[in-house]
Amino acid sequence: MQAVGEALGVHPQTVRYRVRQLKELFGEALDDPEARFELALALRSRVPAREDALSI
């Protein structure tokens, strides 16, 4: 969580909180690589790309 927080510019506790929120919303789907891919693809199709965006 430390590395993710540093990459996003947020505190590691913020990362943990947001991951908990995502787990509440999506449940076991976050444990499935295919479901994670579909979620990431859906998000990328809705959010305009930024030059400074992190690569996933």
Q: Domain residue spans in the chain?
A: 2-46
The torsion defined by the Cα of 4, 5, 6 and 11, in degrees rounded to 10, comes to -170
Q: What angle do CA 56, 44, 40 make, to 5 degrees?
A: 55
Question: Tell me, what amino acid is at 16?
Answer: R
- What are 18's two structure tokens? 């947001």
What is the C-alpha separation between 26 and 35, in angstroms, rounded?
10
Nearest to 14 by CA among 5, 26, 22, 27: 5
pLDDT in tens, 13-52: 999 999 999 999 999 988 999 999 999 999 898 877 666 6
What pLDDT shows up at residue 55? 58
What pLDDT shows up at residue 16? 97
- What are 5's two structure tokens? 């927080």
